[in-house]
Amino acid sequence: MKDTNALSSRKKKTTVADIISLILLFLLTFIFVFPFYWIVTGAFKDQKIAVQLPPQWFPTDPTLTSFVTLFKNPALQWLWNSVFIALATMVLVCLTAALAGYVLAKKRFYGQALIFSMFIIAMALPKQVVLVPLVRMINALGFHNTMAAVILPAVGWPFGIFLMKQFSETIPGELLEAAKIDGCGELKTFFNIVIPIIKPGIAALAIFTFITAWNDYFMQLIMLNTRAKLTLPLGIATLQAEFATNYGVLMAGAALAAVPIVTVFIAFQKYFTQGITMGAVKG
């Protein structure tokens, strides 16, 4: 993905339409950034200040009382659960998807078309269809109310395979041929030749999976139910039921859930964008 846009942009006459567009764009920017801003600043407001009107647009005397209340709940445990679930899902998805995507792109074998179309169809499937049987399966496997109950079904989701297939298409066939002639085994070829080439793809998938797993509230809600097992998003949802309108505490929780993931996102934005773009190119 070369950055050709900026280079080739020529000086054009700025018209009234351009100015209106820019004004609108900045207005929208404000609307999109505001909720995040309100979370982060709200976290440092005392409940009394949080609900006062006219609102305090910036916390003039920031306080940690909301965080103190928050940590009376097992919020650190929730944070750890979220991190573990997101990391484990990420590693498993990247591994299984890289292996599968590579052969789907570069090998010709019996049943290939069938398997690939099954993956494609499943991607459009709403999770709710498989909801009840999935929960039953998790219970049968003895994973009820464990992190595995959230991690394993996410690994079954075929988006990663699709993305890795897209990236694997770019591996030059001659390179694989050459490896074969040199007597390089299949696994060795995969780790020494394929992996280095599709590394940016793996990075994209890793960051994408991490964010998706971190925010997969639905699966967490269905699968986890005792207080110590919750994730951060699920924990906040529980707090919302208990604290109703204690917005200070809720924002402290929301900030704890959002700030790490937003930081990760901004740090790896380049890979993430690439992943989304590649995932959309129809194969």
Partner 1 sequence: MNKQKLYKIRMRETLVSYAFLAPALLFFVIFVVYPMISGVYTSLFNYTIRKFDFIGVDNYIRLVSDPIFKKSLINTLVIVLGSVPIVVLFALFVGLTIYEKHSAIRSFFRCVFYLPVVTGTVAVTVVWKWIYDPINGILNYLLQSAHIINEPIMWLGDKRFAIWAIIIILLTTSVGQPIILYVAALGNIDQSLTEAAEVDGANRWQVFKNIKWPGLMPTTLYIVVITTINSFQCFSLIQLLTSGGPNYSTSTIMYLVYEKAFKLGQFGYANSMGVILAVIIGIISFLQFKFLGNDVEY
* Only segment of 63-71, 73-81, 196-204, 208-216 that touches partner 1 (CB under 8 A): 208-216
Assess 269 for contact with partner 1 (CB under 8 A): yes
Q: Which is nearer to partner 1, 6 or 181 (CB)?
A: 6
Place of tokens 């919020």: 75
Task: State which of residues 21, 139, 170, 192 lies at the interface with partner 1 (CB under 8 A).
Answer: 21
**Tokens found for residue 15:** 């018209």
End-to-end Cα spacing for the chain: 17
Site for partner 1 in 185-204 (CB under 8 A): 186, 190
Min CB(37)–partner 1 separation in Å = 9
* Only segment of 67-75, 173-181, 197-205, 231-239 that touches partner 1 (CB under 8 A): 231-239
d(CA 204, CA 198): 10
Assess 172 for contact with partner 1 (CB under 8 A): no
Number of residues lying near partner 1 (CB under 8 A) = 100
Task: State which of residues 147, 168, 257, 271 lies at the interface with partner 1 (CB under 8 A).
Answer: 257
CA dihedral 113, 115, 117, 121 (to 10 degrees): 180
Q: What is the CA radius of gyration of the chain?
A: 23
Assess 223 for contact with partner 1 (CB under 8 A): no
Half-sphere exposure of 205 (CA within 13 A, CB side): 30
For 62, 104, 158, the CA distances from 119, given in Å and listed in that order, are 50, 11, 6
Site for partner 1 in 102-161 (CB under 8 A): 102-104, 107-112, 115, 118-119, 122, 124-134, 136-137, 152-153, 155-158, 161
CA dihedral 264, 270, 274, 277 (to 10 degrees): 90
In the stretch 31-60, what mask flags binding to partner 1 with x, by CB under 8 A?
A: xxx-xx-xx--x-------xx-xxx-----
